[in-house]
Amino acid sequence: MEQKRKMNETNLIQKEPKPNLVRNKPPHLDDIYACLQCGYCNSVCPIYRETGWESLTPRGKVFLLKHLIGKDSFFDKILGKKITDYLTGRGQISLNEAMTKIYTCTLCSRCETICHVDIDFHEYWEEIRKWMVENGIKPPPNTIDMYNYIANEEYKNPFMEPLPKRDEWYRDDYQLPETADIIYFIGCMTSYHEYQLLLNTLKVFSSSGLDFTTLGTDEMCCGAINTLSGQWDNFKNIAEYNVGQIEKRGATQVVTGCPGCYRAFKKYRKFAKCNFKLLHTTEVIAELIEGEKLKFTKEFKEKNLPIVYHDPCELGRVSDYEGKGIFEAPRYILKNIPGIDNILEFPNNRMDGICCGGGGGLKALNYDLTIDITLRRIDEAIELGANTIVSACPNCKAQIGNGVEMKKEQMIDSEEKFKMKVMDVLDIAAKSL
Ligand code: SF4
Ligand code: SF4
């Protein structure tokens, strides 16, 4: 009986389609061959900094890919070596373990700034994940759940939150028009978890007299998590749906405060006709200040000073690779807030900025590692003497906020009181009106 059960299990395993990665080669093959294994990228990778695992660095991942497609190094071939499971140090690496390594990355693109042979990493990692999924290698289970929740008509968001909750924070207080020139695309993180930021953005937009509206419960997740996790097959539907909703409202501009949505919308152009201009909220607010259509009157609370600005990867560096990084608009807004005379800068800022830890869908795979990255960023802010960390991304705000809470717990017995604040540029702008 036992033997029969074992045989059945073996049959089940054998029925799983085995991806032929040697035949189905990944995209950007030339990049894999171009890598010199020089290791410059290791020095900037936040994953390597926290784990110390060579196999999780960009060059380690490239090495792994060479192995997966049967292009082991000359010496490996001669010595008959195979990449081993790094946890046990034994046996040949499983495809699931390979997936884990490839997804242990915040997609921050910092490696691209330093790569000796200019590998286009900001696009590369996403495409490698897509290739893995297309070849039957499943992404982290949480991202599969998110994919399903987004596709579900009852949610349309990755958090399994009920659809009517999407606009419940503001629908009674803001009577927004059916059609408008600007669509404020809120995004799931802001709609469901950072609703104070949502209310603050609505306050600033309304005070500026902008002709805007939202998609309300017709808004669907932008699909960023689909692209980050390699699950692209539903992305076209998402793009067409959201673009259709925007067209119905006659908008010529789409404004979002979420850098993840901002990038997803840029990708929509490959799948749908987008007859609108795409902007980040900070660009709109900076323009209003410049045109003297928005003026801040209230002083920023002195006890929250000084502030340090954290560049969200997707808004700054990653968008810069795609043509236009947004670095100065958030700083320009902050400089126009009464009471803020000085903005502290992290030693690594703008193109060299370090990820907050919350990017790339890594939270779905290894939350503790993301928090380690965040805590290091917070330590840098403490060292600078900052009392508030400011960003322009709801995901950075949530991630750094979680890190601050953890830091508070760590310091509970300390005589020193830890009072770091975490705010979005729009939170500060709303408080200064
Ligand atoms: S994108 Fe960022 S986290 Fe990922 S390998 Fe490059 S530097 Fe490391
Ligand atoms: S810097 Fe570029 S070429 Fe050098 S090891 Fe890293 S990925 Fe390879």
Mutation choice for ligand 2 from 28, 41, 128, CB with most ligand atoms inside 8 A:
41
Q: Which of 238, 38, 228 is nearest to 128 (CA)?
A: 228
Q: Going edge to edge, which strands form the sheet with 277-280?
A: 212-213, 182-185, 253-256, 277-280
Give DSSP secondary structure letters for 167-220: GTTTTTT----SS-SEEEE--HIIIII-HHHHHHHHHHHHHTT--EE--GGG--
Rounded mean pLDDT, 113-141: 94
Spatial neighbors of 66 by CB under 8 A, at least 6 apart, are 32, 72, 73
pLDDT for residue 190: 98
pLDDT for residue 96: 87
Mean pLDDT of the chain: 91
Protein residue closest via CA to atom 3 of ligand 2: 35
**CB atoms inside a 10 Å sphere around CB 349:** 17
Protein residue closest via CA to atom 8 of ligand 1: 45
Ligand lying closest to the C-alpha of residue 126: 1
Cα of 114 vs centre of ligand 2, distance in Å, is 8
CA distance 212 to 205: 8
- pLDDT higher than 50, residue 40: yes
Residues framing ligand 1 (Cβ under 6 A): 44-47, 58, 105-111, 121, 125
Q: Which of 65, 57, 56 is nearest to 34 (CA)?
A: 65
- Which atom of ligand 1 is closest in space to residue 125's alpha carbon? 1
pLDDT for residue 22: 75
Mutation choice for ligand 2 from 32, 37, 56, CB with most ligand atoms inside 8 A:
37
Cα of 325 vs centre of ligand 2, distance in Å, is 23
Cα of 121 vs centre of ligand 2, distance in Å, is 10
Which range among 26-30, 192-196, 197-201, 225-229 shows the weakest confidence by mean pLDDT? 26-30
Ligand lying closest to the C-alpha of residue 102: 1
Protein residue closest via CA to atom 7 of ligand 2: 59
Which structural domains are found in the chain, ordered by start? 12-134 (1.10.1060), 141-290 (3.40.50.1860), 302-431 (3.40.50)
Mutation choice for ligand 2 from 32, 40, 102, 111, CB with most ligand atoms inside 8 A:
40
Which range among 6-15, 112-121, 216-225, 367-376 shows the weakest confidence by mean pLDDT? 6-15
Q: Which of 309, 299, 304, 302 is nearest to 337 (CA)?
A: 299
Protein residue closest via CA to atom 5 of ligand 1: 58
Rounded mean pLDDT, 85-91: 50
Give DSSP secondary structure letters for 65-128: HHHHTT---HHHHHHT--PBPTTTS-SBPPHHHHHHHHH-S----HHHHH-TT---HHHHHHHH
CA distance 195 to 197: 5
Protein residue closest via CA to atom 4 of ligand 1: 105
pLDDT for residue 413: 82
Predicted confidence (pLDDT) per residue in 9-24, tens digit: 444 444 455 677 777 8
> How many helices (H) does the chain have, and how many strands (E)?
20, 8
- Looking up tokens 């975490």 gives 422
CA distance 221 to 162: 13
Rounded mean pLDDT, 344-371: 97
β-bridge pairing 182-185 and 212-213: parallel
Q: Quick one: pLDDT band at residue 103, thresholds 50, 70, 90?
A: very high
- The answer, yes or no, to whether any atom of ligand 2 lies below 6 A from the CB of 36, is yes
Rounded mean pLDDT, 254-262: 98
Q: Quick one: pLDDT band at residue 7, thresholds 50, 70, 90?
A: very low
Which range among 68-72, 76-80, 201-205 shows the weakest confidence by mean pLDDT? 76-80
Cα of 115 vs centre of ligand 2, distance in Å, is 5
- Which atom of ligand 2 is closest in space to residue 34's alpha carbon? 3
Cα of 332 vs centre of ligand 1, distance in Å, is 28
Predicted confidence (pLDDT) per residue in 131-176, tens digit: 999 999 999 999 999 999 999 999 999 999 999 999 999 999 999 9
pLDDT for residue 95: 85
- The answer, yes or no, to whether any atom of ligand 2 lies below 6 A from the CB of 41, is yes
Protein residue closest via CA to atom 2 of ligand 2: 115
**CB atoms inside a 10 Å sphere around CB 272:** 18
Predicted confidence (pLDDT) per residue in 264-274, tens digit: 999 999 999 99
Q: What is the dihedral of CA 176, 180, 181, 186, to 10 degrees?
A: 50
User: Identity (one letter) of the amino acid at 143?
Assistant: T
- The CA R_g of the chain, rounded to the nearest whole Å, is 23
Share of the chain above pLDDT 70, in %: 91
Predicted confidence (pLDDT) per residue in 398-419, tens digit: 999 999 999 999 888 887 778 8
CA distance 301 to 180: 35
Cα of 124 vs centre of ligand 2, distance in Å, is 13
Contact indicator for 150, 157 with CB cutoff of 8 Å: yes
Protein residue closest via CA to atom 4 of ligand 2: 38
pLDDT for residue 13: 41
